[in-house]
Amino acid sequence: MNTTFHSTRSASEHLTSRQAIRQGLAGDGGLFVSDDLGSRQIDVATLVGKPYQDMARTVLGVLLPDFSASELDECVQAAYGPQWLDGAITPLKPLGDDYILELFNGPTSAFKDVALQILPQFMARTASGVSDGHGEPSDQHTAAEKVMVLTATSGDTGKAALAGFADTPGTGITVFYPSGKVSEIQRLQMTTQSGSNVNVCAVRGNFDDAQTAVKRIFGDEDLAATLRNDNNVSLSSANSINVGRLVPQVVYYFSAYAQLVERGAIKVGDKVEFVVPTGNFGDILAGYYAKMLGLPVGRLTVASDRNNVLFDFLTTGTYNRERPFYQTTSPSMDILVSSNLERMLYYMSDGDMRLIQSCMTDLRDWGAFEIPTPLLRRIRKLFACGWADETQVSQAIADCWKRNRYVIDPHTACGYYLLEQMPREKDMPRVLLSTASPYKFPRVVGRALGLDTTGTDFACMDRLAQASGTTAPRNLRDLEHAAERFTDVIDIDAMPGYVRDVSMRL
């Protein structure tokens, strides 16, 4: 199948999946989509009983058809191997009358590992297929070309990307995170990262400020020319704006469904509801992609924290980022500009690029946009929503432990709170996507459970382990004695210069 990718905002540029992954963001600022999504269906019955790696080969083979079967096999084997704590990769576990899908068993203890262990493998196989900006492979790109992967993080993406790309030949990675707005464990995960090609920098501002600046850097033609001409470097992204970061997440929806069938909770064809804590909309958009590929998805529920811009949009049809920004105990969801919402709007509007362009222009110029009422009704038939404030998050952590003897992190707690509040559809199983290890937030979790939270985060880890009978992942507990390598803190407007400087050293 000759699948091509183009921007959500125009169809002037047509790329292969290799080119779209390499480029990251479309030239007009849009996100890459394929109009072939859904043209090929996956029979979930053929996946039941198979290991996660086989499911990944099947799903990715449909979504990224210009990668050969042997290439995908190499990527999957490298991404989903012994670095995972559980051989099932994303095991499904009972949670009272519901289920929880553990996505945090990877090397950085966050769901981002599912995609960011395989994205570097994709990237390494894209060098010969880079676009010249008009949808054609450029003969100016050679095997000597280097890629600087540029990422803004609200907490978890940064470390997962650093771990995935560290010491990858021909590739550098630069991560920006909002100073003072990630957990101490998240910060240490990034600032202690090893690797000769990694760069980490805090910025004064919030995640939206950093993400917006990164998008501007991608659109800076003068900077791109300088990097290309002076050091043969091009920029790409590890955020979920990159289609290569998004599509691996589709696999775990199929995995959850297959595991439900295996344990006799459903029969093939029965619908399943997924509750997804999300800020940038990528984690739940992957569920929409799975539905388009034939997975029997009954409903996708967006769980937000106090920064509930998605809740307001899904209930009113108006997206407004001009609102107070709250620093919460779920920092990875402290986002007011949800980039992947643009992809959902593209598909739900049947590819109305004029509408998308208009909405994104209004968001840029006025800080808000509004969609037509018929489109909102269509979206609400699939996407439900809700949110939890800080008190409710803490109560959810405590309640989940009391009822189920299962410890959840504050992001997952937003989804758990909704599970307990939402009416249950008759005979439709509900799966909560768990986003991170609770040991990434030991002080918040410990406080919710009534534990002593004095001293360091590592002392809090030890008390949580003793009280719950669980074990802190070694990659987190060992941070106590790791040396910090990166201490830079810069203003937002200094980010382009920082990218230029580190790219020249690549």
Enzyme catalytic residues: 112
Alpha carbon distance 86, 473 (integer Å): 12
Phi, psi of 14 (to 5 degrees): -115, 125
Alpha carbon distance 302, 308 (integer Å): 10
Phi, psi of 52 (to 5 degrees): -55, -40
Amino acid at 305: D
List of residues 6+ apart from 401 with CB closer than 8 A: 407, 408, 449, 468
Alpha carbon distance 449, 445 (integer Å): 6
Alpha carbon distance 376, 314 (integer Å): 7
Structure tokens at 294: 């034939």
Among residues 141, 215, 206, 203, the alpha carbon closest in space to that of 176 is found at 203
Instruction: Report the 3 state secondary structure along 301-336.
Output: EEEECCCCHHHHHHHHCEEECCCCCCCCCCHHHCCC
List of residues 6+ apart from 229 with CB closer than 8 A: none
Q: Output the CA–CA distances (angstroms, integers) from residue 121 to 71, 79, 231, 364, in the order listed.
A: 9, 8, 23, 34
Alpha carbon distance 393, 391 (integer Å): 5
Structure tokens at 75: 């990527």
Q: CB of 129 within 8 A of CB of 22?
A: yes
Query: From start to end of 321-453, where are the E strands?
Result: 368-370, 383-387, 430-434
Q: Which of 218-226's residues contact partners 24+ apart within 8 Å by CB, and which partners? A: 218/24, 218/25, 218/29, 218/150, 219/25, 219/27, 219/29, 220/496, 223/496, 223/499, 223/500, 226/500
Q: How many CB atoms lie within 10 A of CB 277?
A: 32
List of residues 6+ apart from 400 with CB closer than 8 A: 95, 406, 407, 408, 413, 416
List of residues 6+ apart from 180 with CB closer than 8 A: 202
Q: CB of 208 within 8 A of CB of 321?
A: yes
Q: Output the CA–CA distances (angstroms, integers) from residue 246 to 32, 49, 476, in the order listed.
A: 11, 25, 25
